[in-house]
Amino acid sequence: MWARDAVEGFLLSLSLCADLGVVNVALIRLGIARGMQAAMCLGMGSCAGDMLYAVGSLSLVTLMAAHREVRLVLWIGGSGVLLWLAARMLRETLTPRELSLPPEAPAPLRPMREFSRGAVLALSSPSAILWFAAVGGSVIAAHAAGRSALLPFLAGFFVAGSLWTLLVAALTGLAHQRLNTRLVRALSLISALLFAYFAVGVFLRGYREFI
């Protein structure tokens, strides 16, 4: 059972990571301009910010257990937002966004500064705020309501973010060129499929409870 919870946490985090939002754009820019080490520092900071949101979302577990109306709203709202996110990422698969990646002036690397910048970007990202408010709470609560499931779920969530950071930092650190359209399409499609997967899961759990 713990393996399933870890996998669910891993996939949930991956769906957030694959969204080409402000954090990923900053990660790509920094990797291309400064190399893998700088991108890793920023990426791990963003992982820390995401973990803060994930742990904060767990407070909804108690609220959901106590109020049926809250569970109903999160069921409908979470399913709807997940479907909207899936549709948005599918649209970006067909018409990928253009990334402007101008070169940055070289400067001494400050790991803690980049780590802090990554955390701030993750905590202030509009897409991340919407995702955790409307989606993260319902999905995390559904998969981690039991204490035995909590640790493997969060571990899977953190591992996915860390591996994503490592992958993007390595690719951009070695590329030193504009991110090509094919990779943008692939990221968008992966994100769309993951959002659709969780939309179906959240809807079916709510359907079994309320219908």
Whole-angstrom distance, CA of residue 126 vs CA of residue 196: 20
- Which structural domain range is residue 127 located in? 2-210
Question: Model's pTM, two decimal places?
Answer: 0.70
Considering 9-18, 99-108, 133-142, 146-155, the range whose residues carry the highest mean pLDDT is 9-18
Residue range 111-120, pLDDT digits in tens = 899 999 899 8
Predicted local distance difference test score (pLDDT) of residue 22: 72
Q: What is the mean pLDDT of the chain?
A: 76
Given a contact cutoff of 8 angstroms between Cβ atoms, the answer to whether 51 and 154 are in contact is yes
Please count the structural domains in the chain.
1
Whole-angstrom distance, CA of residue 112 vs CA of residue 130: 27
Least confident residue range of 63-72, 77-86, 88-97: 63-72
Predicted local distance difference test score (pLDDT) of residue 162: 93
